[in-house]
Amino acid sequence: MLVLTCVPAFLVLLILVGLFVRARPILAEKPFFSLLFSSAWSPLKGDFGLFPFIMGTLWVTFVSLVLAVPVSLLTAVFLSEYAPRSVREFTKPIIDLLAGLPSVIYGVWGVLLVVPLVGRIIAPFFGVTSSGYTVLAGGIVLAIMIFPTIISVSLEVFSSIPYQMREASLSLGATKWETVRHVVLKKGLQGIIAAIVLGLSRAFGETMAVLMVVGNIPRLPRSVFDGGYPLPALLANNYGEMMSVPLYDAALMLAAAVLLLVVLFFNVLARLILVRVERRAA
């Protein structure tokens, strides 16, 4: 049992090492950073610049955060500070369900609803012609997928703030919202940042749903109405052919390793913050 208990900690390292070992062939040919920041992607010529994909990921993630953060935080504040018990009990399973829906389902829904919405309504509204398969569509779908993460982590953070602290603010004649703004949000700031970072890393690695709506064009997006090609989508789309082109699978494994590194960084950061918040509350 003791041996098994050491598995989780080592698994993280093992995955990282495994991916880098498999990426070694391409790292032997080209320096790491030139691969990261080169925009040339043509596997047949041996160009494996990951920059467009990294930027694609960043764009989609950014859009999703802009959409998800205000909605999620307001929802979390409502549920923890305003809602009566019955509403809270009613909403919690809904948020759990939202978290439990498979990403393919989000993808199908995105294709059915979000893509036409972007292509036919939002883009023309801004005077742009667009197929709808865009960074924006990916961002919208992703935003909904990270609602549950941000909401539930924020809820945990808010519940760790002593009720008496709110009472102190209320007893001074502050309104509920003033109490939320000056006390709850302020006291919970670190935890909220952690919640957002966790949502961000979720968005970063999400694959299928984004892949289905984002257009998959290996070019740097210049606006939210351009198609994009995030890293996870690159991995998913090319699994079939990667054995036939030299260095291709090494390049993809490098992409996976980069993805993992970024996600690990954000995750560890967020968890460290949360551990601190928890310890202070205890």
Partner 1 sequence: MILSRESRRLRRRKMEERIFRALMAVSILIVIGCLVLIVGTIIWKGLPAMSLSMITQIPKGGYYLGKEGGILNAIIGSLYLASGATVLAILFSLPVVLYINVYTKKRSRLASLTRFSFDVLWGIPSIVYGAFGFIIMVFFGLRASLLAGILAVALLEFPIMSRAADEVIRMVPRELLEASYSLGATRLETALKVVVRQCLPGLLTAVLIAFGRGIGDAASVLFTAGFTDRIPTSLLEPAATLPLAIFFQLGTPFPEVQQRAYASAAILTVLILIISLVARGLGKRYTRHIIK
Partner 2 sequence: MEIRPHLSVQNLNVYFDQLRILKDVSIDIPDHKITVIIGPSGCGKTTLLKSLNRLLDPLDGVRVEGRVLVDNVDIYDPRTEVTEVRKKMGLLSQRPQPLPMSIYDNVAYGPRIHNHVDKKRLGEVVEQYLRMAGLWEEVKDRLGEPASRLSVGQQQRLCLARGLAVGPEIILGDEPTSALDPQSSQNVERRLIELKEEYTVIVVTHILRQAKRIADYIAFLYLGELVEHGPAAEVFANPRDPRMRAYLTGEIS
- Is residue 30 part of the contact set for partner 2 (CB under 8 A)? no
Residue 17 to residue 274: CA distance in whole angstroms? 27
Q: Does 276 bind partner 2 (CB under 8 A)?
A: no
Between 186 and 271, name the residue whose CB sits nearer to partner 2: 186
Closer residue to partner 2 in complex, CB, 174/220: 174
The number of residues that bind partner 2 (CB under 8 A) is: 21
Q: Which is nearer to partner 1, 223 or 278 (CB)?
A: 278
Does position 85 interact with partner 2 (CB under 8 A)? The reply is yes
**Least distance to partner 2 from the beta carbon of 177, Å?**
11
CA distances from 127 to 115, 118, 260 (A): 16, 12, 38
Q: Which two tokens stand for residue 237?
A: 């789309």
Residue 186 interacts with which of partner 2, partner 1, none, CB < 5 to 8 Å by class: partner 2
Minimum distance from residue 105 beta carbon to partner 1 (Å): 6
Among partner 1, partner 2, none, what does residue 84 contact (CB within 5–8 Å per kind)?
partner 2
Helices (H), ranges, the chain:
2-5, 7-29, 32-37, 51-77, 85-100, 103-109, 115-116, 123-125, 135-159, 163-171, 176-179, 185-187, 189-205, 208-213, 231-237, 248-281
Which of 123/273 has CB closer to partner 2?
A: 273
**Is 170 a binder of partner 2 (CB under 8 A)?**
yes
For the CB of residue 175, give the shortest distance to partner 2 in the complex, in Å. Answer: 6
Minimum distance from residue 261 beta carbon to partner 2 (Å): 34
- Shortest Cβ 79–partner 1 spacing (Å): 7
Q: Which of 168, 261, 268, 275 binds partner 2 (CB under 8 A)?
A: 168
For the CB of residue 273, give the shortest distance to partner 2 in the complex, in Å.
Answer: 16
Interface with partner 2 in residues 185-204 (CB under 8 A): 186-187
Please classify residue 96 by burial: count the beta carbons closer than 10 Å to its beta carbon, then call 0-12 exposed, 13-18 middle and 19+ buried: exposed
Binding to partner 2 by residue 84, rule CB under 8 A?
A: yes
**CA distance linking residue 98 with residue 106, whole number of Å:** 10
HEC sequence for 191-240: HHHHHHHHHHHHHHHCCHHHHHHCECCCCCCCCCCCCECCHHHHHHHCCC
Which residue has tokens 């935003």?
143
C-alpha atoms less than 13 angstroms from C-alpha of 223 in its C-beta half-sphere: 8
Examine residue 178 and tell whether it contacts partner 2 (CB under 8 A). Answer: yes
58 interface partner picked from partner 2, partner 1, none, CB below 5 to 8 A per type: none
- Residue 182 CA to residue 242 CA, distance in Å, equals 54
Residue 195 binds which entry of partner 1, partner 2, none, with Cβ cut-offs from 5 to 8 Å by kind? none
Residues 252, 242 contacting (CB under 8 angstroms): yes
Query: Which chain residues interact with partner 2 by CB under 8 A?
Result: 84-85, 162, 164-176, 178, 182-183, 186-187
